[in-house]
Amino acid sequence: MIDDNPILLQSILRSDWERLLNVLMHKTYLDPPLDFKMVDWISVLKLSTLWEMDVIRAIAIKKIDRLNLDNPARKVNLAREYKIPDYCLPSLSQLIMRSASLSFQDLKWLGPECALNVASIRERINHDWKGSSKSTNVFLDQRRTLVCENVREDVDRAILSVFKGQEEYLY
């Protein structure tokens, strides 16, 4: 009997396995859509990345996108952990340009080195644009959200410079 000698999948949670099986066994044209939440799709992403299931991985990433993961620090974390290149630069840029400071949760998602890099770029961009001749081209709303394309370009250049050589951020 198979049950007498089960295959043990080290470091694989039962819940992750069940979520992946749900996706694999799901017939989209017959069954109702999967009622998965963000955590469910991240489980599917985890195992599909681990086992190089490219089609399932692409589905998981698409579903995560549709669920609008609104925490850019978490997106950077996912980008690094599961090698999702489309997440990193826009999410780092969003962290740098938003009005809110980095939170403790952001620090947990980013890790100390990345968080310090983000804070450093934020300070540099604020300093460079505040009170400089460039400031006439910058519009700040009440939340200090930068809305000038030149600022976004400066932020992206700063990110590429600071994170140069760190492949887990920039692929």
What's the token pair of residue 33? Answer: 């859509």
Kindly state the tokens that stand for 63. Answer: 């579903």
Gap between the Cα atoms of 61 and 41, Å rounded: 8
Give me the tens of pLDDT residue by residue for the chain, a chain 171 residues long.
Answer: 567 887 888 889 999 999 999 999 886 645 667 889 999 999 999 999 999 999 999 999 999 999 988 899 999 999 999 999 899 999 999 999 888 999 999 999 999 999 999 999 998 887 776 655 454 444 444 444 444 566 778 888 888 888 888 877 666
CA 144 remoteness from chain centre: 23
From residue 131, alpha-carbon distances to 101, 150, 151 in Å are 20, 16, 14
Query: Does the pTM exceed 0.85?
Result: no
The strand pairing partners of 146, in sequence order, are 140
